[in-house]
Homo-oligomer: A and B are copies of this chain.
């Protein structure tokens, strides 16, 4: 792996700053227009230190595809961050989560009713921003958002379903996480005026990166990484069937599989070491890590067709980052 250069680091930080400023400005404008508490609550969650991966990807993909005027893509980039935050707010209600992005979740602070509405408000503004673009882009945004909902239904139906297959899991991941990455990159390329095949390549790049990202996210949940801003094993507590668990359930037999099933069905932090021991027996974390690498390699391959540039190297850095330490 190549160390990130100073030029790359500066550019990434500069872009993140621009995104944060634009998000701040929007919330301030809505507060100025009298949006009051809904803008305060939603704004607090929106502005509370997200990684801005989705808007950054859109902006950088736009540049890789030949776009020169960042103002042209900024609204679309913000749109994806609004929509992403909206889904987080609603997901947190459904997961009864207490922490997100290191702060107390919205429904814990303001009650469920306001959290549902604040999520809607974020969706509305996300679509308001996305609606400023052409039909093909609006279709991409609409389809990816509809697929988020479809995948969340699937995910709910698979809660504690111990016969969930890797295919089920990947379908959920494609819809819920990777689809928006793909739509963001493809839409950004269209805004840049890229050819259809270039736009689709960036869409595939986003899809592969997004799958790797979610696999990594699920791994970090099992590694108790503090940067997640939520307690370790949260997915297991919620009964979410992530790939390491599915893999272990497939490979383990007899007493060990029984033990794993029992732990998953009534998981508490006390079972942590036992769960880790079982996942180690089947090398399920290792398997997921291998799969992360595969998807990241596929993502990288999609970039080959584009000429070298600072923006392209930034996308490569994001690929590496997902692998190394979860951006």
A: residues with CB less than 8 A from B are 30, 34-38, 86-87, 90, 93-94, 112-114, 116-121, 123-125, 127-128, 130-132, 135, 138-139, 141-142, 145-146, 148-150, 152-154, 156-157
Contacts and interface: CB of A to CB of B under 8 A. Distances in A.
A118 B150 contact: no
Pairs A-B, 8 closest by C-beta atoms: A128-B142, A127-B127, A131-B138, A121-B149, A94-B113, A131-B131, A124-B145, A38-B153
Given A125-B146, A138-B132, A152 B117 contact: yes
Contacts of A30: 146
Contact of A146 (B114, B124, B141, B157): B124
Contacts of A156: 113-114, 117
Contact of A116 (B90, B121, B135, B142): B90
A116 B254 CA distance: 40
A93 B114 contact: no
A292 to B, nearest CB: 27
Copies in the complex: 2
Contacts of A37: 153, 157
Contacts of A35: 146, 150
A107 B144 CA distance: 24
A148 to B, nearest CB: 8
Given A131-B130, A132-B135, A138-B132, A118 B34 contact: no
30 contacts: A34-B150, A36-B154, A38-B149, A38-B153, A86-B120, A87-B120, A90-B117, A90-B120, A93-B113, A94-B113, A94-B116, A94-B117, A113-B156, A117-B149, A117-B153, A120-B120, A120-B148, A120-B149, A123-B127, A124-B142, A124-B146, A125-B142, A127-B127, A127-B131, A127-B142, A128-B146, A130-B131, A131-B135, A132-B135, A132-B138
Interface centre among A125, A149, A154 (most CB of B within 10 A): A149
Contacts of A130: 127, 131
B112 A94 contact: yes
A44 to B, nearest CB: 14
Contacts of A132: 135, 138
A320 B93 CA distance: 43
B116 A150 contact: no
A120 B123 contact: yes
Contacts of A128: 138-139, 141-142, 146
